[in-house]
A = this chain, B = another copy of it.
Amino acid sequence: MTTPFSFHLIATDKAARAGRVVTAHGEFATPAFMPVGTQATVKAVAPEEIVRTGAEILLANTYHLMLRPGPERVAKLGGLHRFMNWNRPILTDSGGFLVMSLSLLRRIDEKAVTFRSHLDGAMYELSPERAVEIQRLLGSDIAMQLDECIRLPATREDIARAMALSLRWAERCKRAFEGAAAGHALFGIVQGGDDPALRIESAQALTDMDFQGYAIGGLAVGEPQDVMLSMIDVVAPALPVDRPRYLMGVGTPDDLIEAVARGIDMFDCVMPTRNGRHGLAFTRHGPVNLKNARHAEDPRPLDERSGDPATRTYSRAYLHHLVKANETLGAMLLSAINLSYYQALMRGAREAIAAGTFEAYRAACKHGWEQGDIPSR
């Protein structure tokens, strides 16, 4: 492929933006939600079903893939797209966040993060250079810099130290990414915890380094929504308008709409699939817990007005039965139903932004969620 990576802003509506991103494996429209394909598979959803939900890009986790099956093996097998039978764009995280949440005995120094695999206890070293190398071996369209994502609450000193280290690692990642094939991009990650000044310092320093896109990291780690949104309010205006902005690991449908209102273009989150596996459906009327006995004899689908066939077809009673009986098909259907809802939500946002009606769309979404689920028969 020789198409260069690019971002095209199509419309804005106040701070909200609609655009499209061109990559080596085709385009995706923004605001975009990326399903999470942790171990080279979106859990319980087949690739053709992911396409059917409307997803145009997915995320895969470097941490998991570096441990199993290993990036060199994936490269030997023709890269991640071919390996997992997904021919559209893929974004890979750097591995840093999951090293810090999942691995054992980690140690961070200037050079790298060293850790034991949670699978077999083997030692690994993940440097900024290795993080980029792994992502190039996987062949992802969008790679992320290695960063240090610290837990909140933390002292300003600790937040500042981690932010500064992340900036030095950003530079090293950028150097390591030089010469990447056309259509492939590297994004920098804004850190700085809940400190506005540190966030702005991080955003400006990364902007000076000129990345092809910018992520906001270190949020959605348990802080209240207003803290997260106030950080976006601080960071988004400090980022260049002509580059995509990605809010990592977010979130609920409401989080997405609020972040879109503040100028975010890309999201990823395990929430639709993880909750789907646990019997929770996201709908226009808010979350519906299918474990609840009130669904046991309800012949109605989750939402007969949905554009998604499964959401319109399967009765609540059947979904309840599958969840209670712990049947895999329950996880399959609800994961796909939730991904379809997230995609419909983003599609609605894109259309509203293009039409200049995003405020009304945002209000309508919130009204639906607040109304709650339609009463049982």
Contacts and interface: CB of A to CB of B under 8 A. Distances in A.
Nearest to A322: B41
Chain A interface size band reads 20 to 34
Nearest to A47: B329
B41 A78 contact: no
Nearest to A327: B41
A106 interface: no
Contact of A328 (B43, B77, B83): B43
A69 to B, nearest CB: 5
A315 interface: yes
Given A46-B333, A77-B297, A68 B321 contact: yes
Of A76, A78, A315, A331, chain B has the most CB atoms within 10 Å of the CB of A315
A68 B324 CA distance: 9
A85 B329 CA distance: 12
Contacts of A315: 77, 83
A40 B73 CA distance: 40
Contact of A329 (B46, B327, B329): B46
A317 B69 contact: yes
A332 B43 contact: no
A328 B331 contact: yes
Contact of A44 (B69, B85, B299, B329): B329
Given A40-B321, A84-B318, A321-B40, A297 B332 contact: no
Given A41-B327, A317-B69, A332-B44, A297 B83 contact: no
A225 interface: no
Interface string A297-334: 10100000000000001110110011011011101110
Contacts of A331: 328
Nearest to A44: B328
Contacts of A327: 39, 41, 43
A176 interface: no
Nearest to A325: B39
Interface centre among A41, A68, A78 (most CB of B within 10 A): A41
A99 B40 CA distance: 41
Contacts of A44: 328-329, 332
Nearest to A318: B83
Interface string A59-86: 0000000001100010011100001110
A354 interface: no
A19 to B, nearest CB: 31
A297 B73 contact: yes
Contacts of A104: none
Given A46-B329, A299-B78, A329-B46, A318 B73 contact: no
Contact of A314 (B85, B296, B299, B333): B85
A-B interface, 4 closest residue pairs, ranked by CB to CB distance from nearest = A44-B328, A41-B329, A39-B325, A69-B321
